[in-house]
Structures are given as structure tokens and as C-alpha cells.
Amino acid sequence: MKRKVELLSPVGNMETLYQAIHNGASAVYLGGKNFGARKFASNFTDDELIKVISYSHLYGVKVYVTVNTIVFEDEKEELLNYVAFLNENGVDALIMQDMGMIVTVRKMFPDLEIHASTQCHNHNIKDLELMKSLGVKRVVLARELSLQQIKEMNVDIEKEVFVHGALCVSYSGCCLFSSLNGGRSGNRGECVGSCRLPYQLLCDNEVVETDGDYLLSTKELNTLGELRQLLDSGIDSLKIEGRMKSPYYVGLVTRLYRKYIDKYYNNEDMTVNEDEIRKLKKLFNRDFTKGYLFNDKVMNIKSSNHVGVRLGKVVSVNDKKIKIKLEDDVYQEDGIRFKKSNLGMNVNLLYNDKGLLVNSLKKGDLLVIDNKIGLKDKDIVYKTVDKKLILELSKYDEKKIDVNFHVSAHINNKLKVKICDGINEVVSDGVIIERALKNPTSKETITKQLAKLGGSPFALKNVTFDIDDNIFINIKDINEIRRKLVLELEQKRTMVKRKRINNEIILHNADKITSNMTKLHVKVKNLEQLLVCLELNVDYIYVTDDKLYEKYKNYGNVYLKLDRVINNFPNYNNENLLVTEWGSAYYYSKRNKVNSDYYLNVVNNETISLLQDWGVKKVTISPESLDDNMKLLKKKDVVIMAYGRMELMVMKCCPLQNAFNGCIKCHEKNNHYYLKDHLGNKFPIINKNCLTRIMHYKNMDIDINKYMALGFREFRLDFLDEKPQEVKKIILKYKR
């Protein structure tokens, strides 16, 4: 029989946990109050986490806790204490992003399972090989991968994919938009949702008319209709996004995916019920997409909010009343939104066409409501909250675990009863069996009493017997032994097996700089900028053009900057490389002169040391590292970003292609494109190899003196569109 795929559901609070478990989740993932990439979900206290783990294990559901943020230097001890707490209380796995801390946790807790978060940018086979080498059990794959690409990743490591819920427009772990533009880091669980805001598209300084204002906003992933292909692929875990979604959302999505997964294994028809899709739409959708998994379009630039389902059309409106011709049923306390005006309200009072108050109206009826939102024009109406559906979803059948009993009853011997759940078994002795004087105890009577499992998570499947004829057992004794067995089985299912801990790990601390020699690293965009760097004897020069690199690499200080999204790995040997993602860092550092870029999100000494142990010569610190954290970092061979436009996003989708409804081959034109926000800031759009980069609207330009005072000696300048004279001026400024 095929090994069943895991169905992994999100949990943000206790009610969501109950919904996930009793609607069929195989495992749940959730966060504590710190170190999780959904800081603004409710999340769980330590005491609540203990309860969550125990309750989940009782029902045979695994618990994965998110520890998937980058970790500052002064947080390492707190994180390791937190991991020790989770380990001691039996958590099944940690989902982690910070590479240095992954290695440290693997050393300290060698039996604790680690899953590499999608924040690790797991998008190529070298990433998977790296994770395998570090002892990571599972990788959460990038949402940008197609199912075919996943099938070709022939690495013996568990693979988890997102199958439903919100999509990030940027490759996960590669987004600095919220951090550098909004002050809240997505890599620290504080994403402000910059991609859901409105933007104008500019071509040079001219506004380009687009079909919508939400040029970075994605649809909602929904692969329910494609489950057969996903299950045929051998993927280990299907993940639902939504730790900040309602319990009803998690319950319904989990229930539907469980239903169709079970149909697959039972060889039943898997045609999706359209009424079920409509229910999903009512709970939350921004339009649905099958995602990059199935090469579907992912953008919805017309709306970044929950769309809902069409309810009807306004046929008349005045200052007091709105009349709507219904295309669906409506109930008191439903939520509605008017499409063109984007105004919304809860329908507290419903009137029929005779002006009478009612609780509900049917499709085809005329709905009259009070105009308390100031609607002016006729509009299309959408239902965004379905009160009846929520009430329906608030009720669910509790999950039951099948158990078998075996009863052994022989005269003048103790009653023996065994309970088994298929994995665990418990045996208990009872009273001495007597011969019946009048009415013998029948198998039916024993079965009836053993079946009384109402308050427990168990349900009787079968009872087998090895008993003498004409025996007598008091009903009270049967009940007592049943209660004892149930309690012991519950304890066995939730028992924590403490794992081995290695307490001899020494964490890396800051070193003392021993050199006063200051070095400059400069990334250039073109030949003119490169020539200025050569003229001024810049220590390290990074180019993005293969031809430029081949022509000037013999200078010794010229490096080729590799792509941030890479699926083909040329056989580089003895080359100078600037690596921008973890698979390349791991693969190329063995036989090349390699420096690492700021995209690797390095913010602590464990990650610095990991890269240096591989042979990486120069490690660039993330611009998200705060000044207090910088004081605690290693200084030797460490590079600080000093000047330039930071890359805020790298995306597989193209805002230009969406805006122009097709590829305009922008690389063949001399036009410059920008996204303009509501404050007037213009973010350059850079396209290369059908990947889109969004750059910051302004240059970083730090005072390096304070970092030199801390002991740092190497600084990085990034040039984009600066003219040669400007490049020269800036380099000389920093040299001084």
C-alpha cells in the first residue's frame, strides 16, 4: 500500500487547533511568542504549547513549531533555551530559517527533527543536497517551483509543498521590502504586506494605465482539483497556508483536502464539488490560482482584499435605502462589499420588497438595506462573510481513534483485558473470575460495557475473546478496568520521550580585528563603472555580466556575481565568484574563490562561521542587522553594506507582463520602469532572464566611521545607474 501523504494544517490559536485536528490534519504547524515568521498571529505561550503538543499527540497528530526567523547574536541563548523546552516537551520538529542556528541546533539536539523553512529559499537541487548534508529531515520547497521541477529533484530528503492559501510575490526569504521600506522585517516575522498595497506603473516619468492598482498582489493558491497529480508525484507533505486565518477557514480547507486525499487512496472519483469551491470562496479568496506548481497565472492586480462571491446587483440607491437583486441567498449578519466603490458593511437589518424585516432572503428576491455607508451609484455586490456557513463550520464531529479489545476470562484466574490502537497496547488485570451461579456474563454484555468510550478520543472497533463458559463478571469491574485502560492508553499516546542533548557546544563570539587595512567591495552594472574601479584600484569588483568577467578576470580582483535564482550550475573551477544563495555557496566554495552576498541573511556569528568553515573568503552581513547586533559580530573577513540601492524583491512574476497583458521584451528597449507608491517613491524595476527585481527607491549611504570604530574594515558599494564621474566621486569619498 502507498505511504499516505501528510496533510499539514496551520494553527494560530486553540480553536484553530481543534478545527485542524478534528477535520483531518495529519500534522499542524504553529508558532510560539518569539522566533516565528508570523509574529502577528495569536501564537502560543509556553504553557499553551505544552497543551497543544499533548492534545495533538493524543489524536496521533504531529506538531511542528516555527522557529523560522533570522536570529540576532544576543538572541542565540534565548533561542536555544526555547528549543530545549520544545525538545523536552516532545515537539515533533522545528521549522527553521537561520542556517547558522540550524547547524547549532542539530549539534545540540541531534535527535530533534529539523525542517528547512521556505524562508531558506529552497529552490534548486544544490539547496536540497546542502540541507541533506546538514542532517535536515525535510525541506519546504519554494512556491515558485513547478511540479515537474520538483519531480526532477532526486535528493533523498522529505519534500513539503504549499497547496493552498496566500502566496508571497517574492521568493520567500528574499524580500527586504517590508524591512527597508516599512521598518518591519519579513525575515523576523513582521511583514507589513508591502505587496498588497497599490502602486502606479511608470515608464520613465509617464504613468502607464493598468487594469488594476495592486501590481504586486497575488491570487490565493488552490490545488484541490489537481490533487491526483500532486499525490502521484511522491511529495511527502501537502501544506496549507493560513496561521493568521480564521478557525473556520482552517477547518474547511483541511476537511476538503482530507476528503479528496482519502478518495485518492480509496481509488474513488476525485471530481471536486463546485459547491465546496464556492464555500472556500466565501471564506477567503483573492481569486484562485493553481500556482507555479501548474504554471498558472498568479497575479490579481485588481484587488488585494478578500473578494468573496457575487451576491447580486444594485438596482436602485438613494440616501436612505439600497435595493439589490439577489443572485444568491443572503442572511442576517452577512458581510457584503460593493465592487466599484470598495465600500463594505455587515447586513444587520434585512427588508424584503414590501419593507418588512426578515432574517433571510432567497436567490431571485429583492433585498432592501439601509444605506449607512453613503453608496452613491449602482454597483455589483459581493458577499464577503457568510454567517450561515460560519455557524455550520463551527460544528464538527470530534475525531475518534479506533481501538480493539481482547478479553481473557478463565474461572479462578484474573480477568485480563488488552486495549490496542494499532501502535500502542496496554494490558490490565482485574478481579478473579467466578463461576456464574445464575446468570452468566455474556460476550455481548462485556462488549456493551467496553464500548462506553464516550468521553475519550477512542471508538470501539472490535472485541476478541478467550473466555470460559458460564463465567460471572460484575459490570462495575468491567467499567473500572475499561477506565483504567483508556487512561493508560491516553498517557502512552502523549508520553514525552526525552531526546539526547549535547551540552558541549561552544557558540562563536566576536573576534578582535587585527588589521587597520580598510578594503572596498564594489558591484558594478556596466563596463564604464568597472573601468573606474580598476583605475582606482578597488579591492573587490563584482560584475553581473559573464562576458565582462571573462574579459577582466585576469586582474584578480574581478568577481562574477551569480544569480539569486539558479537551477543550472556551470562547472566553475578556480574562479572568483560572488554567491547569492545557499546552494551556490555550498557547492562552489569547495573549489573556487568565493565571497557571499547580503542576500544570505547573515546576522549572527554561527552563520558567519558556517560559511567561513566551507571556505567562503568574505561574508557580507544582511542590511537587516541592527547596530546593537553589529557590535557583537565577528569582524575578520566580514563585509558591511555601505552604499547603493538594495534589492527589495526577486520575483518569478513580472509586473510589466501583467500590466501590458503580455511580454513587452523590456530588455530590448531603453525604457526605464518604476513602481510608484502613494508617497511618491519610485522603485526601479529590473528584469533579467525573466526574473524581476524591485530595487529600493533610494540609495543606502551610511557613515562608515561608526562601523570602523566597532572594528569593521570591509565595506560594499553597489552601483546601478550612476555615471562614471559619480562612481569615481563616491568611491573616493569612501576611500577617504
pLDDT in tens, 407-421: 999 999 999 999 999
CA dist 218 and 143 (Å) reads 12
Contacts of 245 (CB under 8 A, 6+ apart): 10, 12, 16, 165, 284
Q: How far is CA 100 from CA 43, 103, 352, 616, 713, in A?
A: 25, 5, 64, 14, 23
Residue 39: pLDDT above 70?
no
CA dist 451 and 386 (Å) reads 39
CA dist 170 and 692 (Å) reads 9
Q: pLDDT band at 40, cuts 50/70/90?
A: low
* Per-residue H/E/C for 642-673: EEECCEEEEECCCHHHHHHCCCCCHHHCCCCE
CA dist 561 and 578 (Å) reads 5
- Tell me what percent of the chain is helix, strand and coil, each rounded to the nearest 5: 30, 25, 45
Q: How far is CA 643 from CA 530, 640, 715, 732, in A?
A: 16, 9, 9, 13
Q: How far is CA 597 from CA 38, 447, 522, 583, in A?
A: 26, 68, 12, 13
Residue 667: pLDDT above 60?
no
C-alpha cell at 297: 497565472
Cβ atoms of residues 497 and 491 within 8 Å = no
Q: What number is the average pLDDT over the span 651-679?
A: 81
CA dist 712 and 319 (Å) reads 66
pLDDT the model gives residue 656: 87
Number of other CB atoms surrounding residue 694 within 10 Å: 27
Domains, the chain: 6-167+218-292 (3.20.20.70), 309-393 (2.40.30.10), 401-494 (no CATH), 519-735 (3.20.20)
CA dist 655 and 685 (Å) reads 9
pLDDT in tens, 203-243: 998 999 998 999 999 999 999 999 999 999 999 999 999 99
Q: pLDDT band at 473, cuts 50/70/90?
A: very high
CA dist 555 and 187 (Å) reads 37
Cβ atoms of residues 280 and 253 within 8 Å = yes
Encode burial over 166-193: b for 16+ CB neighbours within 10 A, e otherwise.
bbbbbbbbbbbbbbbbeebbbbbbbbbe
Please give the torsion angle defined by the CA atoms of residues 662, 666, 672 and 677, in that order, rounded to the nearest 10 degrees.
Answer: 30
pLDDT the model gives residue 1: 46
Residue 453: pLDDT above 60?
yes
pLDDT in tens, 104-157: 999 999 999 999 999 999 999 999 999 999 999 999 999 999 999 999 999 999
Residue 42: pLDDT above 80?
no
Please give the distance of CA 253 from its chain centroid, rounded to a whole number. 16
Residue 482: pLDDT above 60?
yes
pLDDT the model gives residue 496: 86
* Per-residue H/E/C for 32-53: ECCCCCCCCCCCECHHHHHHHH
Encode burial over 38-51: b for 16+ CB neighbours within 10 A, e otherwise.
bbebbbbeeebbbe
pLDDT in tens, 351-404: 999 999 999 999 999 999 999 999 999 999 999 999 999 999 999 999 999 999
pLDDT the model gives residue 38: 61
* Chain length of the chain: 736
Contacts of 725 (CB under 8 A, 6+ apart): none
pLDDT the model gives residue 489: 97
Which of these, 349, 370, 372, lies nearest to 361 by C-alpha position? 349
Q: What number is the average pLDDT over the span 241-250?
A: 95
pLDDT in tens, 680-730: 999 999 988 889 999 999 999 999 999 999 999 999 999 999 999 999 999
Q: pLDDT band at 501, cuts 50/70/90?
A: confident
CA dist 125 and 489 (Å) reads 43
Please give the distance of CA 99 from its chain centroid, rounded to a whole number. 17
pLDDT in tens, 678-691: 999 999 999 888 89
Percent pLDDT > 90 in the chain is 88
Least confident interval from 332-336, 502-506, 557-561:
502-506
Contacts of 361 (CB under 8 A, 6+ apart): 326, 329, 330, 350, 352, 367
Averaged pLDDT score across all residues of the chain: 94
